[in-house]
Amino acid sequence: MKLLIPGPVTTRPEVRAAMAQDLAPWDNDFRPMYASVRERVRAHAGGAADSHVCLVLQGCGHFATEAAVRTFIPAGGRILIPMLGAYADRMARLAREAGRVVVELPVNQLVPLDPALVAAALAADPTLSHVGVVYSETGSGVIHDAAAIGAVVHAAGRRMILDAVSAFGALPFDVSARPELDALVFTSNKCFEGMPGLGFAVGRIDRLLECQGNAGSWSFDFADVYAQTARSGPGSFRFTPPAQVLAAFEVALDIYDAEGGQPARLARYMANRNALYDGVVALSLQPCLARAVQGPIVMNVHAPDDPAWNLQAFVDALKARGYLISNFYNTPQPSFRVGLIGAITPDDMRGFVAAIDQVLPEIGVRHRGPARQAA
Ligand SMILES: *Cc1c(COP(=O)(O)O)cnc(C)c1O
């Protein structure tokens, strides 16, 4: 089965096989493995050992985003969140429920965010200490220019938290070039193509030291994760980790490096994007985004305007052919969503397009155009 969803993604057999062992996380064989994974991830993010650190939290991306918000913004502190889509909404909810004040910046979700809007919002409200940005908005499929937005945050003397969960590993990001960045947040199971279960942040050591005691939560505190590193070494976890997921992640990193790292991964995902975009257009289906703004992570395609259209029937028929896509709507108008990431290739995309062509008549869909034109 190919998982064509934006996480957890299709993985390679070698990655899954690394899970098939018993591991003791406090054992002296495991600790150096964990420490080396952290160093490798920090290096991929462009961080130097004396300024930056890779911190790992058990669990999903939401946990890591919540921990970043709690750690770097004091209780009652104020964060500007450009409302880019579903994941910006989620960051806002995590921050609010953690007792931070969210100021929402409404934006056009179908195009990359204009950094000038962020600059203006920050200039208008000096009480905002942070900006929370989603690099690749999984709701829309649009990629936002994290470095350019960071530059205006830096110019305004504020700080940034970047949800790069569906971006990092494929889209470039260099933490050393972005002094305003408090946390680059991502997980094991998206563009690094590992198993789900680990949340990561790469952040600055000086900021982690300044932010001890902010979190108001022992579990969701990256400053405490850092304190543990300082106390007990970089191979130690505070609480029981998903040790097998970490072993699988190490193999996934080896594959990532062997493939050619970030540029190679981005090139493969772009090729997946192009194969799918061309393929669905050739079938008379219409992607929700214009080609120029369609990112290489996830693509929404307008549902055909035919009374026979039924998303679950479509998903089930595709699944019978070996392709699994999301079975819920992610856009205001009906669409189906396809992940472009994971251990999949343009040939997989072409096979998937051929399967769509067979499945639509099978479920009785004759008219393939969208109900309404995209904005
Ligand atoms: C997947 C994703 C997350 C985290 O999702 P979890 O289910 O908590 O792992 C966060 N942000 C974005 C943009 C994502 O795509």
* pLDDT tens per residue across span 117-142: 999 999 999 999 999 999 999 999 99
Query: pLDDT at position 375, please?
Result: 43
Query: Does the beta carbon of 138 lie inside 6 Å of ligand 1?
Result: yes
Which residue from 9, 58, 138 has its CB within 8 A of the most atoms of ligand 1, so it is best to mutate? 138
Query: pLDDT at position 175, please?
Result: 98
Residues in CB range of 205: below 8 A, 6 or more apart: 50, 51, 52, 53, 226
Q: Which stretches of the chain are DSSP H helices?
A: 13-17, 30-44, 61-72, 86-97, 115-124, 146-155, 205-210, 222-232, 243-259, 261-282, 311-320, 346-362
Q: Could you tell me the CA-to-CA distances from 226 to 53, 77, 83, 235, 335 in Å, in that order?
A: 8, 22, 30, 12, 42
pLDDT of 372 over the 90 cut: no
Do 344 and 272 meet the contact criterion of CB atoms below 8 Å apart?
Answer: yes
Output the pTM of the full model. Answer: 0.97
Average pLDDT, the chain: 97
Domains of the chain by start residue, with CATH = 13-257 (3.40.640.10), 261-362 (3.90.1150.10)
Vertex 359, ends 267 and 352: CA angle to 5°?
15
pLDDT of 22 over the 80 cut: yes
CA of 62 to the centre of ligand 1 (A): 6
- Provide mean pLDDT across the span 153-181: 98
* pLDDT tens per residue across span 74-91: 999 999 999 999 999 999
Query: Does the beta carbon of 330 lie inside 6 Å of ligand 1?
Result: no
* pLDDT tens per residue across span 331-355: 888 999 999 999 999 999 999 999 9
Determine the Cα–Cα distance for residues 116 and 119; give it in Å rounded to an integer: 5
* pLDDT tens per residue across span 25-62: 999 999 999 999 999 999 999 999 999 999 999 999 99
Res. 374 pLDDT band, cuts 50 70 90: very low
Atom 15 of ligand 1: nearest residue by CA position: 166
Query: pLDDT at position 21, please?
Result: 97
